Structure 1
């Protein structure tokens, strides 16, 4: 009998994901489109801080992944859980977006088949390949975060996580340049170790520890404070502190309304459910819709609304036809015939560290081969 895969479905958290996704969509369809391509006539609407929805995604991921790892019993459980959640939907989004770009040529991407194939690995940018869609860089960040959290789980670091998270934050602060000095960490290592993003993940993890362990978790407020300070130094400005605090408030509200999920409006619940495919599909396909809509005489506002409608329809379709069926099929297959790999935790630890070293080596070698 296999270990049941952990269920991490929190309706309030899903709704918060939906809020993060739609804020990024609004940013791309207003402020970012104007910056990259320019509207024939500006829509009169801007959403300049919508890109911070990405950072909110990282906070939510810190919360959810810590919760997932505390509930699993075997390494294979985590691998199957994350693979089924991320990859089938991502592959569908990559192929669909590549097809739209190839047919329309509106954005002039000119991606080759090897580049598209490299995107399916989800770590393509780290290996030197361009993205089919610009939003995919965050999936690489998520994957590296899973790798390091999985490593921390393997060595038992989740029992007393704060020394490890503190070390991670110190590296992040040092790389970000605290008090006028900075640690000269190579760019690739900073990417692999997630030094620019780790304060946001730590905010989410500390919130989970407070939520799950309560008053017994004495160092939670301290960790939150350090993470918030790290956000300031990484961003080189004070504005992001306000956003970090806002993220914490939003996450706390999401946890409180989770117990009253039935009170959430159905559209909000649905938006949370389709947030992952919506995020993956909205940018370049939406830009294409805006481009052609304006060519056909629509003003910027109508073009943006049409792009939003197309993105929501595609997200709903991929959620229903790919995301849910694939996740269910993979997890059912694993439950019926679980993986029985003859590996203990130390073997898995060696594989995880070997993967990190291998990716680092490939990131230097592959660009030279394809230059």
Structure 2
């Protein structure tokens, strides 16, 4: 009998990195309650979901083991995301839905059983109608996207099993070119090019993550210092932000704005590759510290509940005045409350139910 293929090492720094991506999303949502002077920049916190899509493709490919049955993969993915999603959805209904909503609170919608059912089965992300895609727990639209990724990942995994470093690099480059070409074509030929739903559009990030994992699994270890990767990301993100705010000063501002999702995918990919390579070489990493790993483990639950808590507070306290650094107090308070709620959801729902539903074999 052939020996079983050894498991690939776990990259704990990615768990710590997950927390910072979730925190970036949190800073964006907080602008709807307590805006800061840098509120326009913090709106780029939505790009944290792009990080999660790239990371999802990377981790699923990095940790894939030959011989895993498709139904086993699906069961594990279901166990990973659905229990916590359902509890967060039930909580969100009380915040985002009313039989007779107040027009002064536009985030509260009238009850719609059909929309809620689409959210339960994670199909609402396929609609471009805001009342549907943001239906149920508004944060869960990304889970609808992830469910699509999970559906086709086993088949992509089998199709790319023989690719090595060069194949993974070609895959990543091709995805970037195709993604940019689509967004530019959609702008220049709006009557000809179809508008794809979010699960298809965000596949650019997921497939890019798969390509990166293929290269890393094939022993590609770029010696890019992590601080340099973060610097590249910071400069790239600020460039996208600044050119968007001052398009007249930059000849390529329109092109960058149209293709920003693709470039965010590349920027987050650079950070992931640098962090993973350092861990695999045995380098020291503050991202592996116990507090950050714990926060990273709770980051999925944190992502699911923080917006619900923010809008619940806004309903009773309203929008907090002009943009001021004094609003940092609200950031601190909601951050602590959201972390505590995410710990409860992780400890009593997400983690125990995932272990039970995954099965012992």
TM-score (norm: length of structure 2):
0.70
Aligned to 1:326: 353
Structure 2 vs 1, CA of residues 8 and 328 (structure 1 numbering), >3 Å: closer, same or farther? farther
Which residue of 2 is the match for residue 121 of structure 1?
A: 121
Deviation at 1:214, TM superposition (A): 2.4
Relative distance call for 1:7 and 1:323 in structure 2 (3 A) is farther
Quote the residue 1:209 is aligned against: 214
Q: Provide structure 1 residue ranges, at least 5 long, that are not aligned to the other structure.
A: 217-227, 336-371
2:110 is paired with a residue whose SS is coil
Alignment of 1:109-258 (within 5 A): 109-126=109-126, 129-130=132-133, 131-153=135-157, 156-160=159-163, 172-177=179-184, 184-187=192-195, 190-191=196-197, 194=200, 196-215=201-220, 236=257, 243-255=264-276, 256-257=278-279
RMSD of aligned Cα (Å):
3.9
How far residue 237 of structure 1 moved from its aligned partner, in angstroms, is: 5.1
Distance change in 2, residues 1:151/1:29 (3 Å)? same
> 1:181-234 deviations in whole A, cap 9, x for unaligned?
6594433xx22762x323322332222122110259xxxxxxxxxxx9xx9998
Whole-angstrom distance in 2 between the partners of 1:116 and 1:21: 24
Inter-CA distance 212–15: structure 2 relative to 1 (3 Å threshold): same
CA offsets, 1:244-292, max 9 Å, x none?
4542332134312475568733321111101111111111321222442
1:279-316 CA-to-partner distances (Å, cap 9, x unmatched) read 1111132122244245899x743333322222111111
- In the TM superposition, what are the counterparts of 1:306-345 in structure 2 within 5 Å? 306-332=333-359, 335=361
| Residue 64 (str. 1) matches residue 59 (str. 2) | yes
Secondary structure of 1:26's match?
helix
What SS does structure 1 have at the residue aligned with 2:213? Answer: helix
Distance 1:238 1:328, change over 3 A: closer
Contact 1:97 1:284 in 2 (8 A): yes
Residue aligned with 1:48, SS: helix
Answer whether contact 2:83 2:350 (CA < 8 A) is retained. Answer: yes
Shift of 1:85: 0.8
Who is 2:23 aligned against? 22
Question: What is aligned with 1:50?
Answer: 45
Alpha-carbon distance between aligned partners in 2 of 1:202 and 1:326, rounded to the nearest angstrom: 29
